[in-house]
Amino acid sequence: MGHRKAKRTADSDAPVIHGAGDLPTVTVASYNLETRDKQGFIGDRANKSAFRDALEAWRMRIRKGGDDPLGEVATDTLSKKEIDALLKDEETEAATLVRAAVDDFAAELADVLMRYLKEEAWKGTERIAIGGGFKDSRTGMMAIARAQLLLKAEGVKVQLMPIAHHPDEAGLIGAVHLIPSWMLKGHDAILAVDIGGTNIRAGVVKLNLDDAKDFGKAKVWKSELWRHADDEPKRTATIEYLVRMLETLIGKAKKAKLALAPVIGIGCPGIIASDGSIARGGQNLPGGNWESTHFNLPEALRKAIPEIDDQPTFVIMHNDAVVQGLSEVPRMADTKAWAAVTIGTGLGNVSFVNKKD
């Protein structure tokens, strides 16, 4: 394949800024709000473990007056599918127990959202997209619907919307909205990475710009998943494994004659500094101190993969909740201000203002 030079423009000579507030179609008004109360970060009251805490609390109270409808099984060992299955027989005590936990969790979620909506950066928010693994369940969807009713009952005029894409894909698809348009011209797809406290997912996202100029038809073409929590790798080994995942995807794209843009978009927990270092919030990442001033993930990937399709590699990184929220940009085009929360290990949060055309 012959060497193709990217067309140089004033924009293309500008430095890559990580964790940017100014993105191609939106302004990031805030992310990773660290609002606290006497118990700590308020977001922890509505993360995925908070639902299980509510379920366990109900089970402990029930045992005071009789048999636990879930028997001896530990709450922490129940999968999302097993909890959802309990709802099928609606008249049973087990289903009623799960609904009681849903109601408690939804009340906490609604309260947390009302607190965020009082923040200056969230004022004027018309819609809140809700993502993360918890929403990918019947239980999660019930909790979102219940929280919506509670907000309406408090006179809060904001619409809750589950993120349209599967949680595994939203964190990859959102990366296309990090990328300046000049980097994408003449290309079919980009590489994207979603780094979490349990998993790392890397994928090829097809842009499908002929079908929708706003990336509304962008799709994950191929992806690789590594559950690093099972392996407990050191930081260096984590990066080496991620590089191998990306190289495998580059090989698949080349074999399929898919023109990859020379860019890798990354979503990563924490406050992302403009140079690509993690200022804080990376404590759940695998194998060492990701917040070290001596470590820079975008730079490490750029050195390991210096070129993609014979062009110099760019790496652009932002907070993972920001990237997952960005997957909703096409559906939020008719709003001015909107936000997203991701229900996972923590409660990721971000607020956006759409740019005028």
pLDDT of the residue at 255: 97
* pLDDT > 60? residue 4: no
If asked whether residues 170 and 305 sit together in one domain, one would say yes
Tell me if 65 is assigned to some domain. Answer: yes
Tell me if 272 is assigned to some domain. Answer: yes
pLDDT tens per residue across span 207-264: 999 999 999 999 999 999 988 877 777 888 889 999 999 999 999 999 999 999 999 9
If asked whether residues 136 and 172 sit together in one domain, one would say no
Structural element, H or E, at residue 36: strand 36-37
How is the beta sheet containing 347-354 ordered, strand by strand? 26-31, 347-354, 337-343, 127-131, 159-162
* Contact (CB, 8 A) for 192 and 203: yes
Closest residue by Cα to residue 177 from 203, 201, 205: 205
Tell me if 12 is assigned to some domain. Answer: no
Instruction: Identify the bridge partners of residue 354 per DSSP, sorted by sequence position.
Output: 26
Mean pLDDT of the chain: 91
pLDDT tens per residue across span 321-336: 999 999 999 999 999 9
If asked whether residues 171 and 111 sit together in one domain, one would say no
Helices (H), 86-176: 93-117, 138-153, 167-173
If asked whether residues 178 and 322 sit together in one domain, one would say yes
As a whole number of angstroms, the distance between CA 210 and CA 225 comes to 29
Tell me if 348 is assigned to some domain. Answer: no
Give the structural domain span for 193: 166-327
If asked whether residues 173 and 297 sit together in one domain, one would say yes
pLDDT tens per residue across span 162-206: 999 998 899 999 999 999 988 999 999 999 999 987 889 999 999
Domain of 295: which CATH number? Answer: 3.30.420.40
Tell me if 315 is assigned to some domain. Answer: yes
Helix axis angle for 93-117 and 138-153, nearest 10°, is 50
pLDDT of the residue at 6: 42
If asked whether residues 172 and 320 sit together in one domain, one would say yes
If asked whether residues 152 and 127 sit together in one domain, one would say yes
pLDDT of the residue at 15: 65
Average pLDDT over residues 88-92: 91
pLDDT of the residue at 39: 77
Tell me if 1 is assigned to some domain. Answer: no
Between CA 237 and CA 199, with CA 290 as vertex, the angle to 5 degrees is 60
Q: Tell me 22's DSSP state.
A: B
If asked whether residues 317 and 199 sit together in one domain, one would say yes
pLDDT tens per residue across span 11-22: 445 567 999 999
Band (pLDDT 50/70/90 cuts) for residue 58 is very high
pLDDT tens per residue across span 106-157: 999 999 999 999 999 999 999 999 998 888 899 999 999 999 999 999 999 9
If asked whether residues 312 and 173 sit together in one domain, one would say yes
29, two tokens: 């008004």
As a whole number of angstroms, the distance between CA 312 and CA 9 comes to 15
* pLDDT > 50? residue 1: no
Band (pLDDT 50/70/90 cuts) for residue 289 is confident
165, two tokens: 């894409």
Band (pLDDT 50/70/90 cuts) for residue 5 is very low
pLDDT of the residue at 231: 78
Band (pLDDT 50/70/90 cuts) for residue 3 is very low
* pLDDT > 50? residue 7: no
Average pLDDT over residues 97-113: 97
If asked whether residues 202 and 298 sit together in one domain, one would say yes
Task: Please give the tally of structural domains in the chain.
Answer: 2
Q: Using a pLDDT cut of 70, give the percent of the chain over it.
A: 95
As a whole number of angstroms, the distance between CA 203 and CA 223 comes to 4
Backbone angles phi, psi at 241, to 5 degrees: -65, -40
Query: Amino acid identity of 120?
Result: E
pLDDT of the residue at 357: 67
If asked whether residues 92 and 236 sit together in one domain, one would say no
Structural element, H or E, at residue 41: strand 40-41
Q: Are strands 260-268 and 314-319 parallel, antiparallel or unpaired?
A: parallel
Tell me if 182 is assigned to some domain. Answer: yes
If asked whether residues 151 and 187 sit together in one domain, one would say no
Tell me if 114 is assigned to some domain. Answer: yes
